[in-house]
Structure formats: C-alpha cells, structure tokens
C-alpha cells in the first residue's frame, strides 16, 4: 500500500454525531496531514490540490467543518475520481497558491472563533 493510500484510509473516519469542536479538530487534523504529506512529496501538488485545500480552508473559516474536511480529503483523491467533481470550477485564489501560503491562511482560519447563529426575530 502506498503512502497516499495509507493517508486516505487514515482520514476516512466518520464525523457523524460528533460535537462541532470535534468536527473542527478532525478538519484541522485532515488539512494538517495533507499539507504535511504534500510538502514532503507523498503526492503531487498542482491546481487540483490547490483548489481543494484553499476551499477547505475557506470552509473552515466559515465554520463548515464537515465541508472543510471533505474538501481537504478531495485533494488526495485518485486521478480517476477527479473528472466529474465540482472542484474544477473552484477558482485558484491569490495568496493560496503555494503550500507556505496555504499554511499561512490555514493558521489564520484555525484561530478564528466559531460563528454564532443569530436568533430569528
């Protein structure tokens, strides 16, 4: 089994029924592991990975932890699963094109407080 397959399997746990903080922790852990792996060359780092990780970090900022984790995991999808994904429509974001830039934005996103839902009046 390759390192990328091992990484995919390590991130496959379900977050169903978990508290929001636990989902946030899982999303942060997934992004961290994927950035670390791509940085050391476990997988390719191209436009697909940039788009997935940038979208994942944006979802993390917005408090959409399940979406964040799912988008991060798409960065390490096998090539054959990428063709029909909406990720190809996501724009490449200035300031989120390299691994160091993604890490910087990721650090900012981690420190943001959870969004509060406003009561309906």
Give the tens place of pLDDT for each residue, 6-19: 888 888 878 888 88
Distance CA 105, CA 96 (A): 7
Angle between helices 99-111 and 20-39 (to 10 degrees): 160
pTM: 0.84
Is 12 contained in some domain?
no
Is 6 a member of any domain?
Answer: no
Is there a domain that residue 102 lies in? yes
Tokens found for residue 5: 């397959």
Residue 10: inside a domain, yes or no?
no
Determine, yes or no, domain membership for 9: no
In a domain, 98, yes or no: yes
Q: How far is CA 32 from CA 19, 45, 74, 120, 121, in A?
A: 20, 15, 14, 36, 39
Find the distance separating the first CA and the last CA of the chain, reported in whole Å. 55
Domain that residue 24 falls in: 19-111
Query: Does some domain include residue 68?
Result: yes
Task: Name the average pLDDT for the chain.
Answer: 85
Q: Which of 24, 31, 23 is nearest to 112 (CA)?
A: 24
Judged against a pLDDT cut of 90, whether residue 40 lies above it is answered with yes
Q: What does the block give as tokens for 58? A: 């944006």
pLDDT tens digit sequence for 41-51: 988 898 889 99
In a domain, 14, yes or no: no
Residue 64 burial class via C-beta count within 10 angstroms: exposed 0-12, middle 13-18, buried 19 and up: middle
- The pLDDT of residue 1 is 47
Q: How many domains does the chain have?
A: 1
pLDDT of res. 119: 55
**pLDDT at 88 (0 to 100):** 67
């Amino acid at each position: 089994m390759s390192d990328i397959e091992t990484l995919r399997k390590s991130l496959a746990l379900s977050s169903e029924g978990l508290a929001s903080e636990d989902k946030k922790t899982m999303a942060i852990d997934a992004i961290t592991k994927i950035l670390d792996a791509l940085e050391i060359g476990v997988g390719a780092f191209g436009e697909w990975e940039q788009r997935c990780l940038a979208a994942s970090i944006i979802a993390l900022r917005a408090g959409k932890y399940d979406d964040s984790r799912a988008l991060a995991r798409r960065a390490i999808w096998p090539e054959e699963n990428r063709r029909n994904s909406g990720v190809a429509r996501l724009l490449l974001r200035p300031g989120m094109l390299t691994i160091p830039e993604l890490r910087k934005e990721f650090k900012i996103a981690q420190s943001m407080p959870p969004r509060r839902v406003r009561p309906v009046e």
